């Protein structure tokens, strides 16, 4: 017999998107992130949309997708607390710390994550790393501070570049720009996040340490691996 055909990255994303439904209770308002893995979760949720009251969205793209499926979208200010937040990550480490922002929605993602009692991170196994920093770190910045922030990252050994779209700086849903920073090894994510957040002109740094994951659903060729980060130290 021939060996089974390995699952593609997209199939692994669909696998964890469906698995995330098991972490969604009935009658709640939930938070939903942004990105290709989350899109698979939304497709699965659309088949059972009656189980939730609605969602708070982390981006205009996700809002449009949810509404297209008939899922009610609430403004974050209408909701005091969310039962769970489901989102992907560009990197996640063994402590549940993440890099996020490849889809340029990091600021709203962090806002929604802060409203949720639990953060369920859904990824394929390529996102698992021992030390954050291999993926370019997204940082949302106010444009007038761009060059100074680039110099501050250079002093740390990082190379920051403005993210472009069609030859011009990408503009986020919040009207700001994104820097992508390479050359960093982030060994103390909470301290790094706090430091960069204090730099004038930084809107949000894409290190999610203070809003780290409670659980990671990781798609592997053997199926969905569930990694819990609950317990002391959270």
Question: Pairing relation of β-strands 52-57 and 137-141?
Answer: unpaired
Task: Give the C-alpha separation, 96 to 212, whole Å.
Answer: 6
Instruction: Check if 60 is active-site.
Output: no
What are the binding residues?
A: 34-37, 87-90, 100-103, 127
Task: Give the C-alpha separation, 37 to 45, whole Å.
Answer: 13
What are the binding residues for substrate?
A: 34-37, 87-90, 100-103, 127
91, 109, 140, 193: the catalytic one is 109
Tell me the C-alpha to C-alpha distance, in Å, between residue 149 and each of 26, 159, 197, 199, 205. 44, 11, 11, 8, 12
Task: Give the C-alpha separation, 219 to 172, whole Å.
Answer: 29
> Which residues are designated catalytic?
109
């Amino acid at each position: 017999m021939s060996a089974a055909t390995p699952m593609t990255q997209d199939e692994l994303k669909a696998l964890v998107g469906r698995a995330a439904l098991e972490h969604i209770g009935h009658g709640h308002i939930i938070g939903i992130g942004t990105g290709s893995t989350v899109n698979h979760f939304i497709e699965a949720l659309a088949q059972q949309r009656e189980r939730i009251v609605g969602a708070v969205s982390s981006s205009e793209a996700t809002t449009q997708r949810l509404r297209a499926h008939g899922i009610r979208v609430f403004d974050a200010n209408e909701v005091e607390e969310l039962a769970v937040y489901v989102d992907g990550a560009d990197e996640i480490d063994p402590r549940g710390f993440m890099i996020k922002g490849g889809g340029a929605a990091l600021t709203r993602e962090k806002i929604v994550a802060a409203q949720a009692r639990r953060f369920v991170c859904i990824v394929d196994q390529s996102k698992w790393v021992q030390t954050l920093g291999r993926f370019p770190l997204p940082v949302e910045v106010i444009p007038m501070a761009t060059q100074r922030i680039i110099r501050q990252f250079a002093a740390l050994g990082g190379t920051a570049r403005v993210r472009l779209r069609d030859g011009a700086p990408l503009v986020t849903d919040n009207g700001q720009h994104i820097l992508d920073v390479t050359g960093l090894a982030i060994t103390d994510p909470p301290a790094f996040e706090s430091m960069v957040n204090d730099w004038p002109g930084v809107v949000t740094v894409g290190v999610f340490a203070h809003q780290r994951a409670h659980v990671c659903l990781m798609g592997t060729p053997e199926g969905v691996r569930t990694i819990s980060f609950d317990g002391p130290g959270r």
